[in-house]
A and B are shown apart, each in its own frame.
Chain A
Amino acid sequence: MTVQCELCPKGCVIKPGQSGECRVRINVDGVLRTVVYGFPCSINIDPIEKKPFFHFLPGSKTLSLATVGCNLHCKNCQNWEISQANPEDSEAAFCPPEKLVELTQNYQCPSLSYTYTDPVVYYEYTYDAAKLARQAGIRNTLVTAAYINQQPWKQLLQYVDAARIDLKGISDDFYREVCSATLKPVQDAIVQTRASGVHLEIINLIIPTLNDKPEQIRQLVCWVRDNVGGDVPIHFSRFFPQYKMRNLPPTSPQTLDMAHDIALSEGLSYVYIGNVLSEKGQNTYCPGCKRLLIERSEYTVLQNYLREGCCPDCKKAIYGVWK
């Protein structure tokens, strides 16, 4: 019997023996099965700043994992070798949720991060591991494009402490042409995440000629400010030619600077620049008195002046999870 997967807005109709667009959810004799549960293709210990999370346990390490597969097919994907891989052509280790929690404890990481590809497509693995980790006092973070239906997202969020969500562009055309997805479900998931109280950071990869115009950036930051608040950190990331998008140049540092300045001018409090060696957009400053709060160099925290999550000078509370 044909089945329909209702995890993500694609709603793939899957015939027996076939998989959905994500390649990892298959129809086995009329039942939907995931082929990647407990089989990560990558497990590593990263700095939390690499996700990037700049307002969540700064300076900490996080046990990070991914399975193959993705429900999006971004032409610029930086991890396309795993996100667009067929499970049958890939290598993976066996690591059930209990083992993930054990490893996280053994390596003394305060958090587990579901990242690199998209935890949406290894949903059941993420859900079970996050639930166990929560019981063990370990935090859970998601690094995701958040292309997921609202009900399963709500269920997962109850075990999540932080989500770093890609807002890849601010037009539906961009999502359709570049990512084979649509904008609205992502916006809904972002709003839902903020409303749930889960710590949220947003990233936007700026691609020359596709989403780098000042008015596009302004529209995006205004949407963030008006829908989830100006205190949500936003990261502008540099594009490099990748995968099916090798015809465009890397994003210029000037464009990233421009995006940074637009976001600040529109009232966003915490604006960062990533994927580029730059002094601008690396540090956290108090939006009240402009004091330096966290000094960073790439993924390393050099100084953290926060006191109990507040500016030591003006005492303003800084959005984030600090301990």
Chain B
Amino acid sequence: MTRRKFIQKIMETAAAIAVGGFWLAEKTGLEKFVHAGKLKNYPGTLKPLGNINSQSKWSG
């Protein structure tokens, strides 16, 4: 193995370790949720309820 190839191997290994370490750190640092809390305000536009006594145009 030439010196150039040896250095290249070391660089590749170090990069792989760094990526793996970053991934692991991100995973272990994750806060996991099944249930979500509420938000008070709707991010879109609020509209009145309107007449609900009719069939929806949506499927289902």
Whether both chains belong to one complex is answered with yes
**Contact bitstring B23-60, A, C-beta under 8 A = 1, else 0:** 00010011111111111001111111110111110111
**Could you tell me if B55 and A44 are in contact, using CB atoms closer than 8 angstroms?**
yes
Bound complex: CA A207 to CA B35 (Å): 34
| Given A1-B31, A93-B49, A115-B37 contact (CB < 8 Å) | no
Q: Complex Cα distance A115/B58, Å?
A: 9
B residues 8-27 in Cβ contact with A at 8 Å: 26
User: How distant is A88 from chain B, measured CB to nearest CB, in Å?
Assistant: 4
Q: How many residues of A contact B (CB 8 A)?
A: 55
Residues of A contacting B: mostly: mixed
Number of interface residues of B (CB under 8 A): 29
A91 and B47: CB pair below 8 A? yes
B49 touches A3 (CB 8 A): no
Could you tell me if A44 and B37 are in contact, using CB atoms closer than 8 angstroms? no
Which residues on A sit within 8 Å (CB–CB) of B30? 1-4, 13
Residues on the B chain within 8 Å of A47, using CB: 55
Please tell me if the beta carbons of B43 and A87 are within 8 angstroms of each other in the complex.
yes
Q: How far is the CA of A44 from the CA of B50 in the complex (A)?
A: 10
New A-B contacts (18) at CB < 8 Å, excluding given A3-B32, A124-B36: A1-B29, A4-B32, A6-B33, A6-B34, A13-B30, A31-B33, A31-B37, A37-B39, A42-B58, A50-B60, A68-B44, A78-B58, A87-B43, A88-B43, A88-B44, A92-B46, A116-B58, A152-B34
Which B residues are within 8 Å of any A CB, using their own CB?
26, 29-39, 42-50, 52-56, 58-60
15 contacts between A and B (CB under 8 A): A1-B30, A5-B33, A7-B35, A31-B31, A34-B36, A35-B43, A37-B36, A44-B55, A78-B60, A79-B59, A87-B42, A91-B46, A92-B47, A116-B59, A143-B60
